[in-house]
Amino acid sequence: MGAGIVEVFARNGIDVIAVDASDEAVERGRSFLTKSTGRALERGKIDQAAYDALHGHVTYASALESLAPCQLVVEAVPEHLDLKKEIFAQLDKIVADDAVLATNTSSLPVTEIAASTSNPKRVVGMHFFNPAPVQQFVEVIRTVITADDVFEDVKALAQRIDKKPVIVGDKAGFIANALLFGYLNHAVAMFESRYATREDIDAAMKLGCGYPMGPLALLDLIGLDTAYEILDTMYKQGRDRLHAPSPIIKQMVSAGLKGRKTGRGFYTYAGAGSPEIVADGHTPGEGAPEGVIVREVSSVGVVGSGTMATGIIEVFARAGRSVTFVARTEERVAGVLAAIEKSQARAVEKGRATREEADALLARLHPSTSRADLAEVDLVVEAIAEDLDLKQELFRDLDRICKPGAILATTTSSLPIIDCAKVTSRPEDVVGMHFFNPAQVMKLVEVVHTVSTSEDVVATVQSLCRELGKHPVTCGDRSGFIVNALLFPYLNDAVKMLSANYATADDIDTAMKTGCGLPMGPFELLDVVGLDVSLAIERELYIEFREPGYAPAPLLEHLVTAGYLGRKTGRGFRTYA
């Protein structure tokens, strides 16, 4: 981080004195800078003249006294409050009275750091994100005693070096980490309880939400020791139980398993500092477990006629399966066929399929308005409304109609699957198969087993998903499964942050998109999903886990009551044309 900040300033024509604790540490920092700028030179992002000019702006030293002539000093040492306070106390005596002192802390109280100096008015937070030369976002943290001119100068400087500054108050975690680390901590708890494997948790968030990294891989990159310090600081300041570090984090840090930098964290790496993940004793095997025989699935039934059902029908037919789909009326049957024909016409037009392939796919479709036509299929996927009474009535009927050994699957995203299974005489054959919308595009399928689901049913559905070109992740039958259980508490935290007037919706969205690389900010996403849908999911999570921190934010409830449901009504957290 220190070397990255040096590069940012030097690249913008600002003279920098780079200081570290020893000559050896200085040389390590110099090598980071040389390697980073060398890559930029090789890739044509800068030319030789720019490379030489950048390095010409940097001088190196191993004594704090070398910083005496600086107008701004940015501290980027490890996240230990006592260490930062000691350094600021020394800097206070070294630099000129009008020099600005900035801390790059991501979680520690800037006010407390400022109090270690004789002039706390000149201390400000300037939190860069890693890698600093690439990430545009900078949190500028203003304490209650920061002088107005200091704050304005640092904000202007951030803009001058082509960053997007967001101004926040001195609260643990600021915007990005306050939202990010609650989510990361929840993912660790999910892994610690063996609810899902590390690979499935990470794949679920990457494929289901479009995140650049899964939460456990991200923690390995950040460093588990750093993550523990951030969470511990946030918990001590806010006493939010969701920020209390999961016990396994401290255990791993004590064992020296700190992530990439030590070669081992949640994953095992090719070496210390290497990004290459290598197999270890926890890496899951491929295929079905030993002794488990996968059932044959050559014909499939789908019940439903909405967008999700239509997508699932097309996915199965594209994979060569005979698909019998049942809708309530002939009109709805015609609507499904028209939608799939239109989709296939687009695929042919764009060269993704030939006319012959499209015709063959359509020939594999067998529409019906009678559930009795599902009698001989090997698997039935239910994709009707999210109403437990309706689903239970359907599963009773399917249990009566379908042949022995047929698998009964539900696409529910929130209801207990065991409640569907218990109304049948074959609960061992009932499983969750949660596709993501649009099913034709999204790779992820959550395969959800109940306490009754047999191993061969789980293995069969996993294998089938792979044949469909999907990525299955497996978890138990509890509210939210993997994706929603991790996503919606984070969205709820964002609403609470907005309600507390800590930051605007625009600043929070900017923080999470530019600071954390997420494809959408929380308020953009809430408006797309629908505030009523989001509220319903958050209520389910709260009822399931009885965690006070999961209680839906009152602001979200008020917006739903007012009919402001997001894009679909033209108004949610934002107003649409």
As given in the structure block, the two tokens for residue 297 are 């699935």
d(CA 399, CA 210): 37
Give the relative orientation of helices 522-529 and 483-499 as an angle to the nearest 10 degrees.
Answer: 120
CA-to-CA dists, residue 322 to 247, 299, 317, 385, angstroms: 49, 5, 6, 24
d(CA 423, CA 431): 13
Active site residue 484: yes
CB atoms within 10 A of CB 293: 10
Pairing of strands 444-449, 430-435: antiparallel
CB atoms within 10 A of CB 188: 24
CB 448 within 8 A of CB 477: yes
As given in the structure block, the two tokens for residue 267 are 């994953």
Place of tokens 């006010």: 111
CB 499 within 8 A of CB 552: no
CA nearest to 522, candidates 559, 493, 550? 493
Q: Where are the beta strands (DSSP E) in 295-421?
A: 299-303, 322-326, 365-368, 379-382, 407-410
Measured between alpha carbons, how far apart are the two ends of the chain, in Å? Answer: 42
d(CA 364, CA 299): 10
d(CA 201, CA 203): 6
Tell me which of 79, 446, 524, 538 is the catalytic residue.
446
Active site residue 413: yes
Q: Write 571-576 long-range contacts (CB < 8 A, 24+).
A: 572/523, 572/526, 572/527, 572/531, 573/498, 573/505, 573/523, 573/526, 573/527, 573/531, 574/505, 574/523, 574/527, 576/527
Return the H-helix or E-strand segment holding 148: helix 148-160
Q: What is the DSSP string of 177-201?
A: HHHHHHHHHHHHHHHHTTSS-HHHH
Spatial neighbors of 569 by CB under 8 A, at least 6 apart, are 563
CB 18 within 8 A of CB 25: no
Pairing of strands 164-169, 137-142: parallel
Amino acid at 204: A
Tell me which of 127, 243, 434, 449 is the catalytic residue.
434
As given in the structure block, the two tokens for residue 35 are 């390697």
Amino acid at 236: K
As given in the structure block, the two tokens for residue 168 are 């926040």
As given in the structure block, the two tokens for residue 490 are 């984070």
Tell me which of 299, 484, 492, 534 is the catalytic residue.
484
Residue 285 CB burial class (10 angstroms; 0-12, 13-18, ≥19): exposed
Q: What amino acid positions are annotated as catalytic residues?
A: 413, 434, 446, 484
